[in-house]
Chains A and B, each alone.
Chain A
Amino acid sequence: MTVFKTFLKVLNKNKFIVILYSVILVFFGFSNMQTKEENTNFVSSKPDLFLMNEDEEVGLTKHFIEYLDKNTNIKNIEKDQIDDALFYRDINYIIYIPKNFRQDLLNGKSPEIQVKSTGDYQASFAQLLLEKYIKVASIYQKMGFSEEEIIEQMNKTFDHKVNIEITSTLDTDRLENVVFYYNFLSYSMLAGCVYIVCLLLSSFKNEKIRKRTIISSMNDRKYNRILLFSNGLFALFLWLCYVVLSFVLLGDILLSTHGLLIVFNSFLFTICALTIAFVIGTIVSNKNAINGIVNVVALGSSFLCGAFVPMEWLPKFVLDIAHLLPSYWYIKTNELVKTIEKINIDTIRPILQNMGMLIVFIILMILITNFISHKKNRRN
């Protein structure tokens, strides 16, 4: 009980840092939430656009603007801020409609249009839309139609739509939020565990305290067991808090099979984080160095394994390195669960393999801890 009480004391003193990591998790988990309605219908993506019209808004020019309005989001931005908006991807595309836009189209000339583009998917799509309009307009102009007729024919043409069918019945948006939260959790969990466990172990390693414990009547094994137990209890408590928080933030989707798989996966990861913390705690004894180590370990593995930046965006060489880190297998499982339509033996096999890798890491870390502490004890 004495050991456990001391543990609580140290924890209480440093609760601030753990709360900080948790607040970061909640903040990012929450800020990333997209509150879209459940959709089983196809929703077209609309690029964000800024229009600078120098032509009179009549006839074809007016029609062009209406066409863009239907297919894109035209944003209202102060003129002196449009360059910033483009840089920060608030808009994807800027179209400058020249003064003679309407006249050029009606005279069969191709108007020269200036654009600014971010060069991404959305911008490419905006460009497709722009090109299509000018092509169709000039085809009809060449057929000899008048302006009104061109507009009428174009409206008819653009009314031709294709049937589109969506096969996925998965609620991908909400699952996406769950996976983002749980991926981010790997950072908070790892940072929290390593910080507290290291601090605790180094507090108990203080020479005077260590000597006092050795001469006390307490059995060494019991002492170690209680230490292990209290740290485990802390990790479990942290995990429970995070899971409860996720229920509050994300709702009942966590009770689906997909959600439960992710929750279970995070439990495995918690144990893994705990064992990693033990390895580090056994090696390091300088209290001042802990903060640096926590940052390097937690930030490093989170950046490399895709906790902050989605895995599909990471370069290949980074992912290759990440194979050596447990966070990679944890996050990979979450990403896999997100895409599985129906859970059966075939689809669950890769998930079980990843979880198996986590268990291998846990065993490995325990072995390393034992090895190091054994060596240290001998030296003493």
Chain B
Amino acid sequence: MHNFIYSLRILFKNKILIFWTFAFPILLGTFFYMAFSNIEDSEKLDRISIAIVENEAFENRQIVKEAFEALSDEEGLFNTIYVEEKKEAERCLANDEIIGYLFVEEEPKIVVKTSGINQTILKATMEEILQMESIIQVKIEKRMQESLEQGIAFDLTQDFFKQMAMDIRNAFEEEVSIKDISSSHLSYTMIEFYTLIAMACLYGGILGMTSINQILPNMSHTGKRISISPASKGKLILSSVCASFVTQLLGIFLLFLYTIFVLKVDYGNKFPFIILLAFVGSLAGLSLGIFIATCLKANDNLKTSVIIAVTMLGCFLSGMMGITMKYVIDKNVPILNKLNPASMITDGFYSLYYYDTFDRFYMNVGSLLLFALLLIGFSMYQLRRQTYDRI
């Protein structure tokens, strides 16, 4: 207990350590929030700004004209400006006020600056209108043929034509029964925040490492003094490790509070499971720290650098610097992410958020536990009966 409190105090007094384990994840989370909060909204289909040159030829294309009028109302796909001169439309296009314009000479023509999805939608819509015209044509021809066969005189009045056009237009406006069964949890930027938690969990390893280093005789004078004291070594190690684990959990807790209440990150609603995962993830981070502290015979700085490097590499592979990275690895080299603790943590949160079943989640928690136990077991083996004649 005595050693536990001292270890805690030592950890909290180390400002650099506290910055990296407490403040840095929170800061990075804030940056993520600022940079990514808008991405998904800006990918949603917005109204597309276009222009139409209102010349005589356009006025004569009744169907085209009416269709664009319908598409440009308040809820329509397009935000249309009507201009009189082609020059005006060209100017708007050059200034990026519109993505393209429609110009009817003999046939309608669309002018755009570059290729792109908005331009493709404009093109597809225009084609749909032309195709509608052709359907009307087919319908009239069929009618004529039928009347001919029945020997009835057929005359193509304006009213008849209008009626046809109306029918087809209505048919086009009819709703098709499409049922969207996609999950409402589709926000992929959440992965960024999950990798952040993973990073914080693994950075916690630095805490574990620091507290183990405290009592290792080959790391510091304090360590030498501690190890010649009559205190039981097992108790010493256990209390130090507990102290760092408590500190680490506190850090993760703060990060959770911040991401949930300030950044509004959605972890899904399975709260106990989230806590379980955070706990196991921290344990994995801790075991990584202990493992590196005991098995790597090097100075403090190098050990820290190794933990940071392993963490960053792990986070990179699990999608922190580009969300698709995780998917690419999962798809092509799945074994890599099965060994990577950062990816196990990220994937655990992802499966809680996106999937309704728990198989994948338990798989992740299980492998994290296995990872932690293996590393801790190995470190214990290394620490056992470690004695020095002289140092």
Binding site for B on A (CB under 8 A): 28, 31, 39, 42-45, 81, 83-90, 94, 110-122, 124-125, 127-132, 134-136, 138-140, 142-143, 153, 156-158, 160-168, 172, 288-289, 292, 295-296, 299-300, 303-304, 308-309, 312-315, 318, 339, 341
How many residue pairs, one in A and one in B, have C-beta atoms under 8 Å apart?
205
A172, closest chain B residue (CB): B114
Q: How large is the interface on B (under 10, 10 to 19, 20 to 34, 35 or more residues)?
A: 35 or more
Knowing that A31-B322, A136-B131, A143-B138 touch, tell me 12 more A-B residue pairs with CB under 8 angstroms: A112-B179, A113-B178, A113-B179, A116-B180, A118-B182, A124-B45, A135-B176, A156-B138, A160-B127, A164-B123, A313-B38, A313-B42
**CB-based contact B118/A121 at 8 Å:** yes
Determine chain A's interface SS by DSSP, over half rule: helix
Given A45-B115, A163-B107, A315-B34, A309 contacting B39 (CB threshold 8 A): yes
- Determine the chain A residues whose CB is within 8 A of the CB of B324 once the complex forms: 88-90
Which of these, A85, A153, A292, contacts B19 with CB under 8 Å? A292
Most chain A CB inside 10 Å of its own CB: which residue of B32, B134, B168: B134
Q: How far is the CB of A257 from chain B (nearest CB, A)?
A: 18
Assess A315 versus B119: contact at CB under 8 Å? Given A124-B45, A143-B142: no
In contact, B123 and A135 (Cβ under 8 angstroms) = no
CB neighbours (8 Å) of A139 from chain B are 135, 168, 171
Chain A residues in 8 Å Cβ range of B1:
none
Chain B residues positioned under 8 Å from A312 (CB to CB): 42
Name the 10 nearest CB pairs between A and B, nearest first: A88-B327, A116-B182, A120-B43, A124-B45, A303-B31, A315-B38, A45-B120, A45-B117, A43-B115, A160-B130
Name the segment of B20-28, B254-262, B277-285, B366-374 touching the other chain: B20-28
B323 to chain A: which residues have CB within 8 Å? 88
Give min CB distance, A358 to chain B, whole Å.
Answer: 22
Complex CA distance for A44 and B118, rounded to whole angstroms: 10
Q: A129-B124, A300-B31 are contacts. A162–B176 as well, Cβ < 8 Å? A: no
The answer to whether the Cβ of B266 comes within 8 Å of any Cβ in the partner chain is no
The answer on a CB contact under 8 Å between B117 and A121 is: yes
Contact residues in A for B116 (Cβ distance below 8 Å): 45
Instruction: Determine if B35 is an interface residue (Cβ-Cβ < 8 Å).
Output: yes
Binding site for A on B (CB under 8 A): 16, 19-20, 24, 27-28, 31-32, 34-40, 42-45, 90, 93-94, 96, 107-121, 123-128, 130-131, 133-135, 138-139, 142, 168, 171-172, 174, 176-183, 186, 188, 321-324, 326-327, 330-331, 350, 354-355
Knowing A121-B43, A125-B120, A139-B171 are in contact, say whether A292-B16 is a contact too (CB < 8 A): yes
B186 touches A303 (CB 8 A): no
B92 CB to nearest A CB, Å: 12
Given A124-B45, A163-B109: A136 and B135 interface contact (C-beta under 8 Å): yes
Query: Given the complex of chains A and B, what is the CA–CA distance between A125 and B44 in angstroms?
Result: 11
Do A318 and B34 touch across chains, with their CB atoms under 8 A apart? yes
